[in-house]
Amino acid sequence: MGINITTLTENTAGLGFLAEWGLSIFLEVDGVNILFDTGLGVSAVHNAHVLGVDLSSVDKIVLSHGHSDHTGGLREILRETKEVEVVAHPDVWEAKYAGTVETNRFIGIPFRREELENLGARFSLTRDAVWISDSIVTTGEIPMVTDYEDIDPILWVKENGEMVPDSLADDLAVAIKTEDGLVVILGCGHRGVINTLRHARNLTGENRIHAVIGGIHLFRASEERLFRTASDLKEMGVELLGVSHCTGFHASAWLAQEFGEFFFLNNAGSRLTI
């Protein structure tokens, strides 16, 4: 089975592509075309045109969580797709903010649900894993099991007019079973890349992790967390590590040193076949 992975949106970009804070990855697996996240704005559509990716071929959209840098491109995407199922956690529609209790800014989905549904979105919201095919599954809610991965303390949701810490229960990933082990695609990994990979192994019954690609939320991580993350990735036997978006420069450099030739920067315009 071949998996084609095309990154449409990322913070940095190759020549001729638009860079934009956020992430969007186009997956072609088992005859199914999945758009994982939509970036912040116009870059996913622009870069899809440059790459020759036909967005009308998208069978499903999967949202990793409800932050605007992963959902802000939805309106532009939906203008190019047919009616399409959008798989996500119910909490994607929470009122999400970043900053402090006193000084913050809205970072949730920047559209009304009705507007997106009028453009053809059919939201399928569940806390559970969703099997898209026999080999492709969304993780659903990811248990917090490690003792060193935690949620960024500057992230909030507004409930009854009050700011409360966001547990990011809506944070999810996509896992693909292959002959060489799992290929796991992350949006931000807010609930921890190791928590995500352990959950993916439990869901699929496959303990081998072949590749991890996408955002790994480490740009504010301590050196202890970086060390333990790299150590656990190695212990899991990860054979290919492609980082994006919220991984951060320092963490990316750390992981590049740890993984050598098995590491790469997954930027807008990157194409990979596994």
Pairing mode, strands 181-186 and 173-178: antiparallel
1, pLDDT greater than 80: no
Going by pLDDT thresholds of 50, 70 and 90, the confidence category of residue 7 is very high
* Per-residue model confidence (pLDDT) at position 271: 97
pLDDT score for 38: 98
Residue 34 has pLDDT above 80, yes or no: yes
pLDDT of residue 2: 87
Which of 11, 5, 46 is CA-nearest to residue 26?
A: 5
- H/E element, 116: helix 113-118
- What are the start-end ranges of the E strands in the chain? 4-9, 24-29, 32-36, 60-62, 84-88, 96-99, 104-106, 121-125, 130-131, 136-138, 155-159, 162-165, 173-178, 181-186, 209-215, 240-244, 263-265, 271-273
Q: What is the pLDDT of residues 97-122, one digit of tens each?
A: 999 998 999 999 999 999 999 999 99
